[in-house]
């Protein structure tokens, strides 16, 4: 039996954001006006409660923290508040002042145990126009990504597997011409579905929620875009890397990395990291790995690079 591990994000996307320098980007850094501590009241962020948890006062565990960061030094932490009973929902909400057709990208670092429960739910201004993603953990302790398809309507469990204490890039992209919504984890398309409201995907909020029962998750590098506005992750100096030979049966070589290398990992198509590479290594031996498709991820101070590697 699978436990739902959910992560809630209701989005309404606009050119505005908290930072004046990066109007479509939030990374919780002091340069954007964020400070360590309670996220409630910072920028357009609020912390919402259900009726039960309201009586226990403000949540003290939805905070800007310097414990972990995907990029920079800070991120948003949502964690268990022991002053509030388990299974009382609490939500960190970012409210956008106007809604537009946009895509969203963000990074998450969830921690899983048998009781964990997170939700990502995108809510539009049109009824039933939002999206809903959940992380499902089965009896064997494996967390799968599931997407709620409102046209069916039911959850579709994908083959993408999440690991605890690992950063993942999440994209929710809307193709207005085809009226399709595409979900990606670490650049892997996990599900594509038809939007309920044709030609209309205006979002108004993004929310992150959990069940307050042994849960903890970090969120970082939120960016919003439409056809006219690129996300910060796209407008940064992207890392340009040469990787060869690809396909390969043994060793790949990495060249032309621009900037200071901060992290190199090799993962499988299920999102699991299979190897951490030294940041100084430029040759990677794949001979000990099974044949298949792998994702090489390189993070530098100038951006991110992901390349699919075929081991044969």
Residues 63-106 have pLDDT tens digits of: 999 999 988 889 999 887 766 666 556 788 887 766 555 678 89
Convert the pLDDT of each residue in 247-301 to its tens digit.
999 999 999 888 888 888 888 866 677 888 988 999 999 998 999 888 888 887 7
* Domain edges within the chain: 3-234, 242-311
| Cβ contacts of 224 within 8 Å, gap of 6 or more | 11, 13, 14, 17, 24, 25, 96, 102, 103, 104, 105, 231
Q: Average pLDDT, stretch 15-44?
A: 73
CATH superfamily of 242-311: Immunoglobulins (2.60.40.10)
Tell me the CATH architecture of domain 3-234: Sandwich (2.60)
* Dist. CA 122–CA 181, nearest whole Å: 12
Dihedral angle of Cα 69, 71, 74, 78, to the nearest 10 degrees: -50
Instruction: Quote the pTM value.
Output: 0.65
């Amino acid at each position: 039996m699978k436990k739902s591990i959910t992560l809630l994000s209701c989005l309404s996307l606009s050119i505005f954001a908290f930072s004046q320098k990066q109007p479509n980007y939030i990374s919780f850094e002091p340069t954007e006006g964020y400070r360590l501590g309670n996220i409630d009241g910072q920028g357009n962020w609020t912390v919402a409660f259900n009726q039960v948890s309201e009586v226990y006062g403000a949540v003290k565990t939805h905070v800007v923290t310097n414990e972990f960061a995907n990029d920079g030094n800070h991120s948003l932490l949502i964690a268990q508040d022991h002053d509030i009973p388990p299974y009382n929902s609490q939500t960190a909400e970012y409210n956008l002042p106007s809604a537009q057709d946009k895509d969203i990208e963000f990074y998450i670092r969830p921690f899983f145990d048998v009781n964990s429960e997170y939700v990502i739910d995108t809510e539009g201004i049109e009824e039933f126009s939002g999206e809903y993603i959940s992380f499902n953990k089965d009896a064997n302790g494996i967390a799968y990504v599931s997407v709620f398809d409102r046209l069916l309507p039911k959850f579709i469990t994908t083959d993408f597997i999440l690991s605890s204490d690992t950063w993942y890039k999440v994209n929710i992209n809307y193709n207005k011409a085809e009226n399709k919504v595409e979900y990606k984890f670490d650049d892997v398309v996990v599900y594509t579905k038809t939007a309920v409201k044709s030609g209309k995907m205006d979002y108004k909020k993004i929310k992150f929620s959990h069940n307050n029962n042994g849960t903890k998750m970090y969120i970082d590098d939120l960016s919003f875009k439409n056809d006219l506005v690129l996300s910060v992750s796209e407008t940064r100096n992207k890392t340009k890397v040469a990787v060869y030979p690809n396909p390969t049966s043994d060793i790949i070589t990495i060249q032309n990395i621009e900037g200071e290398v901060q992290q190199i990992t090799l993962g499988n198509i299920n999102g699991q990291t299979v190897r951490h590479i030294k940041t100084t290594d430029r040759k990677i031996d794949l001979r000990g790995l099974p044949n298949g498709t792998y994702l090489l991820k390189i993070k530098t101070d100038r951006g991110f690079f992901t390349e699919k590697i075929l081991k044969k």
